[in-house]
Structure 1
Amino acid sequence: MAGFLLCEPTTLYNILNQETKHSRLAETNYLYLLDVRTKREYDESHIITAQRMKQKGGEYVVPESMDLECVKYCIVYDGITNSLEVNFELEERESIENSDEEEDNVVMGAAIEGAKVLAEHTRYPVYILNGGYERFSACYHFFRTQKIFSMPQELDAFQPYPIEIVPGQVYLGTSWQASNSQMHKHLKVKAHVNVCLETTPFFEGDKKKLLHIGVTDSPEEDLFSHFRHASHFMDAHVNLGSVVLVFSTLGISRSCTVILAYLMHRNRESLKRSWTHVQNCKNNIRPNRGFVEQLVEWEKVIHGAAVTDISDPHY
């Protein structure tokens, strides 16, 4: 039986926003998100793509349409559960034959009860959303919905938001996302670091809010000489409480490189540690080889010597 892990709201946000050519939400074995709150609460509002996990005879049951064995992310949430150590008792209720609608007594810890059932059907750990629906919806109100079912083509057409690298402070995205006014409003973006040749309609001509590093995605391009200025630019905005969006055309090479350089500077950490963090946030990062070598040079500036072995195929 698989175990349990807590899933932070930012982790679920990033899982919802992964993409290859299209949103990964359309992939059959990518994500099952299950809501164990009452039917009334679910119908009122739930997290996008979530299905309601029902009960029979006072026990949670896996939806018949689900084959959980190979699902990469199986995440369950209730209203407020924020610990794996919650002690709880589900109130006793009469068992009603063939009925699963009498569920108005769901209490704190219900997510753990649901996770126990799910863990019997999957080879991967089951995640419990830390803080439940209340905490997630407070951070990402724009991912609430009343829609109960989405067609595969709707999921395929879902437009992912920028990836959250530092919660509530730094995001990593594409030039398309950087041009989307709704995403800017929802994420409260106040500054851009543009690491591509394209321009966007936001902050044009405002050097206090826009740092434009106009380079191509070529191993011969020099990003190293911009690392210090970009890091200080981002520091200044983060210290003011402003949200910064770092982006390039596809958000996988140039902007990833600048994000890595910033994290190494901010946390005084190795390239390896920063790389692991960014890759956990965004599955498809691919800085080109020249940029990886420049990040090692940046590592020397920060630590006095190279720490990360980039001959590892991981890089």
Structure 2
Amino acid sequence: MAVFTAVSDDDARALLNRYNLGELVSLRGITAGIENTNFFLHTTRGEYVLTLFEVLTAEQLPFYIELMHHLAERGIPVPQPQTLKDGTRLTSLNGKPAAIVTRLPGGYEPAPGPDHCALAGATLARAHLAGQDFGIRQPNLRGLSWWESTTPQVLPFLDAGQAELLQATLAEQRTLAATPAWQGLPQGPGHCDLFRDNVLFAGTFESPRMGGFIDFYFAGWDTWLFDVAVSVNDWCIVRETGAFDLPCLHAWLKAYAGIRPFTDAERQAWPAMLRGAALRFWLSRLFDYHRPRPAQTLKPHDPRHFERVLRARQGQDLPQLP
């Protein structure tokens, strides 16, 4: 578990005094995540997740907390931030910003099939549309400007071929981001990190039911197509090669388009957007691997995985959007 800030049972009891969520039953660390400290929080009134934010600041956090609240209020299956006795939904614990949200049902599916992909795609489209009237605007903090600033920090760890791939992809993204066509793509608040381990399913493998989307703390205002590209680059691939699993990809995209049809401009941008989405996670994994922050237990993801995905997205002969 990535624990940057320890939390004792006494700490949790003191925190619960600020809410109307009952008494502490148990507190258990969540064995996932490399950005925040997370715990399952069981009280006499229900099951929750406690998050201490290690990177995001108290000034940045209202976007994420209020976005989840906004979506939950509109029927999107996401964690509902809990309101404190003083009427706010963000607090602090042991010197870090903190929040408590509802725990959603189900578990994540490590090997999703087409049915899982269709559920995820349709739910993301619903979330995009539900977020159109969200009142807080905050950019994707892991967008192009972050790619620009992070690249020099990881280049010393790359061989010549890797450096060429990274810099060429970054140059493509920089050029496209300056064009009117790119700037005019449909946009709004997006999850921006909708990997398979950030979606929970109830039911069975053969008959899955959507449990919900979790971990909104990389969310930001971006093109919706970027959110889709991030998702299918994880959900719909052969892990060993990074190539697309076509039945999963077609199911994902068809279900999304059934809720929010893609535009012609999005179809034109699709191949390059897939590369940008792969670059974003190759960069973050390179950074976490080569420049890790201290934690009690921290195992960064292998950055070579998204290098393979990016190499598999070269060229324009990629599966098209429906």
Normalising by structure 1, report the TM-score.
Answer: 0.30
- Decide which structure has greater helix share: 2
Is the radius of gyration larger for structure 1 or structure 2? 1
